Copies of this chain bind each other. A is one copy, B any other.
Amino acid sequence: MSTRILNLELGARSYPIRIGSGLLRDPVSYQLLRGRRAMLVTDENVAQHHLDSVLHALKLPRDQALVLKAGESQKSWEQAGEVLDWMLASRLSRDGALIALGGGVIGDLAGFCASLYQRGIDFVQLPTTLLAQVDSSVGGKTAVNHPRGKNLIGAFHQPIAVVADTDTLATLPPRELRAGLAEVIKYGLLADPILFGWLEKNLDRILALESQFIAETIERCCAIKARIVGLDERESVSGGPRALLNLGHTFGHAIETFTGYSEWLHGEAVAAGMCMAADLSHRMGWIKAVELERATRLLGRVGLPTSPPDGMTPEGFRDLMGLDKKVKGGKLRLVLLRSIGEAVLTADFDEGALHATLEKFCNAGPAHAFAVSI
């Protein structure tokens, strides 16, 4: 099978995104690192399936790999300190490189450490989840969480290469695959009506992991992300195009905070959040009822939640959305839809409409609630 190669254009910080089957065990994927010292961070779940073949292709001894526990709780200030301790104890020099093998947690944590190690060293993303392959491994956002919220401490640090091996999705728990599809659908909703229609048509083949369809999905999503990141690398505070990638995320972060970042996966919270954003967009008269219906239906077909968990209240949402990074001068800004394929960042939404959306979704009841099915 052929390798698809995209380039993220950022001047001196441009880098290739390679997508295809068998890339992790192919030494060609690591040519950029030839002759350089490298160290690798992964987690125990990913290590079980992929670590040996990656180390073999990299010709890296096992003691150059740090295997962390799996889970979002690893993305902490304390854990980042321990990874940095390990790198310093190994005396990695400034021209060495750090490799992240895993999903978004490993990529965000390792990227954060690479950005800080001796004020920044090269790092390579080897994403092994669909979410990481279409979203978090591309664009240079790195971070750890804080008890007060997700990704509140971080850095922009671009990788020097991203290698997305589609074979890794075969060992991914189905629930994580579905969560990744939430971000895939997000790209269609915010930037590409053709992608959205293509997903509606081909969802079953994607869910069945037909490799050409998976590779096509990843390539289309990365192309959108690469274009947006190229326009607005550091998500300008005044609200550049990159903020649009947060469609569904303000509601979603509130859900994740409410559920303690443990019960719901990020993609699941974003799925429910996108339904809420679409509902508000419809109440504003911006998208038609049929568009709201298409968005909600596609997310539902994937098996994703289309409403927040039981127990969340409109007041709870307001409170939890308060510290969100999209708060600007006290006024909440949201990413909403003008149509399927066009998103806008706006503080100019109707308070009453927002209230109605929150009321509706917080009273959706167990029939719509995802909590019953996990």
Contacts and interface: CB of A to CB of B under 8 A. Distances in A.
A325 B153 contact: no
B328 A95 contact: yes
A234 interface: yes
A156 B119 contact: yes
Nearest to A113: B153
B146 A88 contact: yes
Contact of A118 (B88, B154, B322): B154
B148 A119 contact: no
A93 interface: yes
A155 B155 contact: yes
A155 B120 contact: yes
Contacts of A223: none
B152 A88 contact: yes
A153 B93 contact: no
B154 A119 contact: yes
A77 interface: yes
Given A94-B325, A328-B93, A117 B81 contact: no
Interface in A134-193: 141, 143, 146, 148-149, 151-156
Contact of A234 (B117, B120, B234, B322): B120
Given A91-B323, A146-B84, A116 B328 contact: no
Given A77-B81, A85-B146, A118-B154, 8 more contacts: A77-B84, A88-B149, A91-B323, A93-B327, A95-B237, A95-B329, A118-B153, A119-B235
Contact of A88 (B81, B95, B148, B234): B148
A290 interface: no
Nearest to A81: B77
Interface in A224-242: 234-235, 237
A231 to B, nearest CB: 14
Main secondary structure of the interface of A (DSSP, over half): mixed
Contacts of A306: none
A327 B95 CA distance: 9
Given A77-B81, A84-B146, A328-B93, A119 B237 contact: no
A122 to B, nearest CB: 9
Contacts of A146: 84-85, 88
Most buried by B among A93, A141, A143, A327: A93
Contacts of A85: 146
A42 interface: no
Most buried by B among A94, A116, A151: A116
A149 B84 CA distance: 12
Contact of A153 (B84, B95, B154): B84
B237 A94 contact: yes
A118 B156 contact: no
Contacts of A151: 119
Interface string A108-144: 0000000111111000000000000000000001010
B119 A155 contact: yes
A372 interface: no
